[in-house]
Amino acid sequence: MYPVVCIDDLERSALARLDQNALGYYSSGADGEQTLRDNIAAFQRYRLRPRCMVDISTIDLTQTVLGHQVNMPIGVAPTAMQRMAHPEGECATARAAEQMGTIFTLSTISTSSIEQVAAAAPRATKWFQLYVLKDRAMTVRMVQRAERAGFSAIVLTVDAQLFGRRLADARNGFQMPPHLSMANFTEELKNTVKGSGEQASGINNFVQTLFDPSLTWDDLSWLCGVTRLPVLVKGVMTPEDAATAVDRGASGVIVSNHGGRQLDGCLATVDALGPVVAAVGHRCPVFMDGGVRRGTDALKALALGACMVFVGRPLLWGLAHDGERGARLALQLLHSELRLAMGLCGVTKVADVTEKVIEKSERSHL
C-alpha cells in the first residue's frame, strides 16, 4: 500500500476493504448518479484567486458555530450504519471529531446509539440528525434522549420523505448485516421492523415502516416547540425553502442534496449554496454538505457564504481504512489542505474568507 496523502487515497483503501453490500450502500447515488458526480465536479467551476505578500505566518481555522468554538470549519455529516465500515462505527468517528475539535453529527439510523456515542466522545460537540417518525411520541423521546446525552443541536432532515432509488442497493439486495441493528430504536421496534423474510431488514422497508411522508412545515414548527435545542434544517436546496425554514423557527439551514442519493439531476450543492446564502444568510448561519473532498473545496464553499461545511463519505473511507485513526486522518488531511489554501489566497482567518477569494469560471473544464 502506498502512503495515504489525500482523501482519494483513503477512498481507494476503503474500496479494497469493504464488502459489496456495504460499499454499494455507502458509495452509490440515485438513479444515473448524475448529481452524485456533479457534487464533486461542480467545485471545478469555481477558481481560487491567490494573493501575494500577505503575512501568513499565523493562520487560524477556528470558528464559533451556534455558540461552540470549533477548531476547523469542516465537520462530520450524518451517515448511516457506520459499523458496516468498522466494528466501532460511529463511536470511533465521534472520537476522531472530538480529537480534532470539530462537530460530529449522529444519524437517526446509526448502528451506535445516542448514549453510546455520548459516552465514547463526551467532550465532542455533537449534533443529532433526526427523521420525523410517524409515531410523534417516539420522535419526541429520541429528541429528549439527545438532549439528556449532551447533544447541542437537532438536525432535521427534510429531503427524504421518500427514499431515492439507488440502483446499487437494488442490484446487491442490500441488507444490514445480521449482527448489527438500528441502535436508536427499542428492541420491540427493531423486531417489528425486521419481521420475517430475507428482505424485511432492508433500509427501504425500515423507512416505509417508520418515516412519515406527510411531513410539512407545520412539523418543523412543532419540533421547534418540543425541544430547547436549536433546530437546523438539512436538505434545503432553494431560497424559497430556506426562507420558509427560518420563518418557521429554524436556527440554521444546511444546503444538501443528501449526497446525490435522493433526486438525481438536481443542482450540485455548491451551486445551490450562493442563492440560499443571499436569501437567509443575514438571518441565520448557512451550512453545506455534498462533494467536499479537498480543503480547496471547503474554501470555495466558505467563500460562497457557508459558515461551515460537512463531509460524510470521506469519514467513512477513513473509518474503513483504519477505524478511529483513519477517520481522524481524513479530518487532518482536510484541515491541512484548507490551511494551505487559505494561506496561498492571503487569508489568515475563517471570518475573512469572502467572495473575493473566488471567481466562477466561464468554462467548466468538466
162: number of Cβ within 10 Å: 13
Distance from C-alpha of 245 to C-alpha of 247, rounded to nearest angstrom: 5
Give the residue numbers marked as catalytic. Answer: 258
In 3D space, the residue among 34, 4, 48 whose CA is nearest the CA of residue 262 turns out to be: 34
Distance from C-alpha of 303 to C-alpha of 347, rounded to nearest angstrom: 11
Q: Does a structural domain hold residue 177? A: no
Q: Does a structural domain hold residue 318? A: yes
pLDDT at residue 195, rounded to an integer: 41
Q: Does a structural domain hold residue 193? A: no
pLDDT at 268 over 60: yes
Q: Does a structural domain hold residue 205? A: no
pLDDT at 252 over 70: yes
Q: Which is more confident, 191 or 97? A: 97
Domains in the chain, number: 1
Q: Which residue type, as a one-letter code, is found at position 19? A: D
pLDDT at 347 over 50: yes
Q: Which residue reads 441502535 in cell numbers?
A: 183
Q: Does a structural domain hold residue 335? A: yes
Q: Does a structural domain hold residue 16? A: yes
| Window from 11-15, 40-44, 184-188 with minimum mean pLDDT | 184-188
Q: Residue 18 in contact with residue 10, Cβ under 8 Å?
A: no
State CA 266 to chain mean position distance.
Answer: 18
Distance from C-alpha of 157 to C-alpha of 207, rounded to nearest angstrom: 13
pLDDT at residue 61, rounded to an integer: 98
pLDDT at 131 over 70: yes
In 3D space, the residue among 11, 20, 17, 16 whose CA is nearest the CA of residue 175 turns out to be: 20
Report DSSP state, residue 165: -
For 311-343, write each residue's pLDDT tens digit.
999 999 999 999 999 999 999 999 999 999 999
User: Which CATH number fits the domain that encloses residue 282?
Assistant: 3.20.20.70
Distance from C-alpha of 77 to C-alpha of 54, rounded to nearest angstrom: 33
Q: Does a structural domain hold residue 2? A: no
Q: Residue 316 in contact with residue 13, Cβ under 8 Å?
A: no
Share of the chain above pLDDT 90, in %: 86
Distance from C-alpha of 173 to C-alpha of 25, rounded to nearest angstrom: 10
Give residue 314's domain range.
7-171+211-358
Tell me the CB-side half-sphere exposure of residue 207, using CA atoms within 13 A.
14
Distance from C-alpha of 34 to C-alpha of 265, rounded to nearest angstrom: 6
Q: Does a structural domain hold residue 336? A: yes
For 141-193, write each residue's pLDDT tens digit.
999 999 999 999 999 999 988 888 999 999 999 988 999 988 998 643 654 44
pLDDT at 49 over 90: yes
Average pLDDT of the chain to the nearest whole number: 93
pLDDT at 126 over 90: yes
Beta bridge partners of 129: 155
Distance from C-alpha of 150 to C-alpha of 157, rounded to nearest angstrom: 20
For 270-297, write each residue's pLDDT tens digit.
999 999 999 999 999 999 999 999 999 9
